A and B are shown apart, each in its own frame.
Chain A
């Protein structure tokens, strides 16, 4: 059962454009929503994250929009650059019995920024 659905699977955006990746979740117990960026041959790295008590978080060119009632969240990359070409994973998390965050990942979006 895919608890976090991510779309699109792949995305091609012109340099300078806006890249938008969407995710939807089912479990209302999730309380932390990070986005991870992964370059080929590397491990994922945290890009930006949000908690459900806010509707938007912005860090530089990256913004998370969060809609709690719709159980959806999205990543917007403004002024997309070739260096942003990577695979992006959304995730949703809840605290485990021992306090650790248990992440459930989306299936990933391969983003390509073309000149």
Chain B
């Protein structure tokens, strides 16, 4: 049981390049989230998904797109990377509402640098 995994762990991009971050969870969770973590700002929600095929915007969605074609995977895309998107990105998942816990389980993070 790997929990939440993220690929890649590190990436360096040039301004204007595109990339996709992959998140996978093996806990059969309904909800999945993408956050970015910046020094002094905590974690901020980018996008989230409440089920396969559904996505919604979070607090800081501009410049990002997401897709959830399979329940266990949640992809975060950057179409044209900007230096302001240099950050550590965390994926999280949580079980369906009404369960015994509202815990969000986080992956190990992807450190992205945009030059």
Residues from chain A with Cβ under 8 Å of B104 in the complex: 46, 101, 103
Which B41-64 residues sit within 8 Å CB-CB of chain A?
A: 41-45, 48, 50-51, 54, 56, 58-59
Residues from chain A with Cβ under 8 Å of B106 in the complex: 36, 43-45
Residues from chain B with Cβ under 8 Å of A6 in the complex: 42
Let me know if A68 is at the binding interface, CB within 8 A: no
Determine how close the nearest CB of chain B comes to the CB of A31; give it in whole angstroms: 10
Residues from chain A with Cβ under 8 Å of B97 in the complex: 95, 98-101
Query: A80–B107 Cα gap in the complex (Å)?
Result: 26
Cβ-defined contact, A100 with B94, below 8 A: yes
Cβ-defined contact, A107 with B50, below 8 A: no
Query: A104–B108 Cα gap in the complex (Å)?
Result: 19
Q: What are 5 A-B contacts defined by CB distance under 8 Å? A: A6-B42, A43-B92, A45-B105, A100-B50, A101-B31
Which B95-114 residues sit within 8 Å CB-CB of chain A?
A: 96-98, 102-109
Per-residue contact bits, chain A 33-48, to B (CB 8 Å; 1 contact, 0 not): 0101000011111100
Residues from chain A with Cβ under 8 Å of B109 in the complex: 41-43
Closest to B109 in A: A43
Q: Which residues of B contact A (CB under 8 A)?
A: 4, 30-31, 40-45, 48, 50-51, 54, 56, 58-59, 90, 92, 94, 96-98, 102-109
Query: A96–B42 Cα gap in the complex (Å)?
Result: 20
Closest to A31 in B: B102
Contact (A43, B90) CB under 8 Å given A32-B102, A102-B45: yes
Cβ-defined contact, A99 with B50, below 8 A: yes
B102 touches which of A44, A89, A93, A106 (Cβ 8 Å): A93
- Most chain B CB within 10 A, of A49, A93, A98, is at A98
Closest to A9 in B: B40
Additional pairs, 7, CB under 8 Å, beyond known A42-B108, A98-B51, A101-B31 = A4-B42, A6-B42, A9-B40, A46-B104, A103-B43, A103-B45, A105-B43
